[in-house]
Structure 1
Amino acid sequence: MKKLSIVLLLIFMMISANTVFAQAVEERSNNIFNTIGIIDSIDKDSIAISGEGTYKNLILRVTDESYILNGKTGENLDFSTLKEHSSVSVYYDGRMTRSIPPIGFAKAIVVGDNDENGLYMQVREVEKIQDGVRVLCSNGDRLVTIKNDILADAKNISAGDELLVWYKAMTLSLPGQAVAEKAVILNKKPDITVELLDNSIIIKGNNQVISTRAIVKNEKILLPLRQIAEKFGYTVSWKEDSKSAELLKGPQFATLTIDSHDYGKNKMRIVLDDAPQMINGVTYVPSEFFEKALELSVKVK
């Protein structure tokens, strides 16, 4: 009996240890890590880096999803422009092999003098302010204010976007706070992608395909209102007597009425070329509604 108890205890400890390890790996994979150093060598689709950071020596695979950027201007560079012994700041997540050196996938390679480089960040949360936005990075340790006068598209930044930002000082608080002197949105992806091949609709963030399809009518793209708006946090209320809908998300408010070209946006009237339609019991709106009334970007493929 005593031996059985010991065996059961060992099994429990092994299961617990594996669970803790799995949780640790999952937690690391959600963060963005950074190494500042030099390129030691370049292969056909990877670079070896040595320096200071989460990993001092590592190999990063470079894919079509990786950004290669000029650290001073934010301009995109080709893989062929990378040179051995160049100074770089590389960004990657925690999904690394256990080899020596560890191998992972590059999210961003920023080339140039690291003291003046822009810093890569993925956006976790966005707070709109009067003259711009405050963005919290995916690690939760940096809160950067980006004003409209340095980035005209600041208001269009949303969770999941990737940025390159420049600032001179950051507070010692947690999260550290800074005001950007310059910012670039890296190949901003649309919030909503419509695949016309099968009329499916993809929501940015987790590439979630919603079950209801788009409708093409008179060469116009009509999208299901409720299914999409609720994915972006809106509460949709339907008024049967007036055949109208109200959308609410914090201070953001929008209204529409079936067969009417007049829409409401935060108590302002906007007029669109196409009116909402009721099709098989579902309210459909033109793609322009999401862009003009909800400020969501739409791309049709």
Structure 2
Amino acid sequence: MDRMKSYLILTLVVSLVLSPLVTEADGNQPIDFTPIDNPIDLDFPDYIIPDYIRYDGKVADISTDENLFSIWVTDDEEDPYSGMVLYITQDTILLEDESNDFISRDELELGMEITTYYHKDTVMLMTAPPRLGADIIVVRKGENPDLIYVSKFDESLLSSDKSLRLNPSEDTLIIDREGNSIEKEDIVNRHLIVFYTLVAESFPAQTTPNKIILLDKEELEISVWDKISIEQEELKLNSPIYKNSQEVIMVPLRQLAEKLGYQVKWITDTRTVDLTKDDYLISLTIGEESYTLKGRPINLGIAPELTNSTTYVPIEFLQSIMGIDLEILKTGILNIRK
């Protein structure tokens, strides 16, 4: 009991002694700050966005509208606005994960589970669902498929997001998008599709791939501006192709559209152009970035231009709105593939 009394008395004394200190701190007395000699490091590591975005879903629709092949991929077939519509062109790489081999688009079927990869800078049409061109589509069939990683890899074969390093062996199959064998030095500083199973627990992770596909194509640029070709048949242009102030390639619309079977109507009052072919209706207005495809607005971010009394559209219009498959030939001529 005496010990308890002593403890209470001691506690009371300490409280009385410290109370003025607390009061002073809450009062109007000046407060002394001690400067920190060393700067505080707030430089947190940046999150690096992967080069390619992945999306998983099921094929809910296959469309061959005009000359444009597309599939609707979604994880919710009850919602018509879910998922995304993927355009499949001759540049799209189609694979299946059981053998990691190439397949053709004719092998795609409703209900297939797929994984698609598209570059982070891919132009996406903000419709519902959104539409974009797929770089890679993998049909998922295998029960225990290889892991797949798509990225650009540097001179040391480290992925651009610094998460995976490749250590190819003599057994690693290395091919280009045509299936031709290539050497290890051909994949340095290139975009690759990597198939692998085992990963060393390190940072970055390291793997010896089973197979590598070179995703890059030979980079060609337009060097012929007064011609275009359709299935490699040359067409002399009345008005030449050019690059605008934003370095966007602009192509003359009327001559190309009429050559492809469209009727072209110019409406002077609104400076609008209507393109019709069967039930395909496209509208655009000079200076406006929004185009209309079958009554649905699509924003490309680049407006059509009127130059020397000729309507020009960005090259993306031919691909995304008209559904034209384009390539640049080794001769430097822009070619339309049907």
**TM-score, structure 2 length as denominator?**
0.40
* Structure number with higher strand proportion: 1
* TM-score (structure 1 length as normaliser): 0.44
Which structure is larger by alpha-carbon Rg, 1 or 2?
A: 2
**Bigger RCO of structures 1 and 2 (CA < 8 A, at least 6 apart):** 2
